[in-house]
Amino acid sequence: MEVFETVTTRRSIRKFRPDPVPEELLREILEAARWSPSWGNTQAWEIAVVTGDALERLRTANRQKFLDKIVPETDTPIPMVWPDLHKQRYQGIGKKVLTALSIARGDLEGRIRYGGDMASFFGAPCLLLFCADKSLSREYAMLDIGAILQTVCLLAHARGLGSCILAASIHYPALIREIIPIPETRAIIIGAAIGYPDTEAPVNQFARDRENLDEITTWFQ
């Protein structure tokens, strides 16, 4: 797949097929992703690849935390308030997802069901947890992690896989560390679900949108 096509056709997948992703394919993607841009070549990323029984235990426990309404305690704060423009974008994608799932505005049960699916990583057979040494400048470490995260998502798409960047996967670091031996010295920054997309699912088919170029750029000469 040509690079420009890969960038413009990649989308977040919210329903995966259960088929496992071959380890050699994951290794190919991560091997290439190592060459992502890095501030000062610090390569601040560390990645936990979670599959199999460990993933199923984490999936079940994370979903139960959500259903029990346990307040998230993330290693890195998740924004809860946005400027109006960003709030509109956030609410806009939420409406598209719920519409695709035929979940009405007042359907509380449907919304909880969707939240449970999200907390279950949408059924993905692989979860990547991106971490950074807590002694590093968190802001610059997150720049590096953002770079490699995008590279992984694009490479996955180029190889016929789907991805979804999921804050819901890192809401409970203590729970994660009970199952995955990530040291306390490492901050769990973000997770990404990886797997084969269910191409028949309406939630993977709705039209996406982005701001026009002129809305996000200012040119100086």
Domains and CATH numbers, the chain: 3-205 (3.40.109.10)
pLDDT at 17: 97
pLDDT at 149: 98
Q: pTM of the full predicted structure?
A: 0.96
Identify which of 25, 18, 134 has the alpha carbon closest to the alpha carbon of residue 76: 134
Other C-beta atoms closer than 10 Å to the C-beta of 71 total 7
Spans of the chain, pLDDT less than 50: none
pLDDT at 59: 98
Other C-beta atoms closer than 10 Å to the C-beta of 194 total 27
Contact call for residues 67 and 116 (beta carbons, < 8 A)? yes
What does the chain come to in residues?
A: 221
pLDDT at 207: 93
Q: What is the pLDDT of residues 22-61, one digit of tens each?
A: 999 999 999 999 999 999 999 999 999 999 999 999 999 9
Distance (Å, rounded) from C-alpha 80 to C-alpha 78? 6
Q: Is 76 helix (H, G, I), strand (E, B) or coil?
A: coil
What secondary structure does DSSP assign to 96-141, as a single string? HHHHHTT--TT-HHHHHHHHHHHHTGGG-SEEEEEEEETTS-HHHH
Q: Is 168 helix (H, G, I), strand (E, B) or coil?
A: helix
Distance (Å, rounded) from C-alpha 116 to C-alpha 119? 5
Q: Are strands 186-195 and 162-166 parallel, antiparallel or unpaired?
A: antiparallel
Structure tokens at 207: 């039209």
In the chain, DSSP assigns E strands to: 46-50, 126-133, 162-166, 186-195
The angle subtended at Cα 206 by Cα 204 and Cα 209, nearest 5°, is 115
pLDDT at 138: 87
Q: Is 199 helix (H, G, I), strand (E, B) or coil?
A: coil
Residue 43 φ/ψ region, left for φ over 0, alpha for ψ in the -120 to 50 degree band, beta for the rest: left
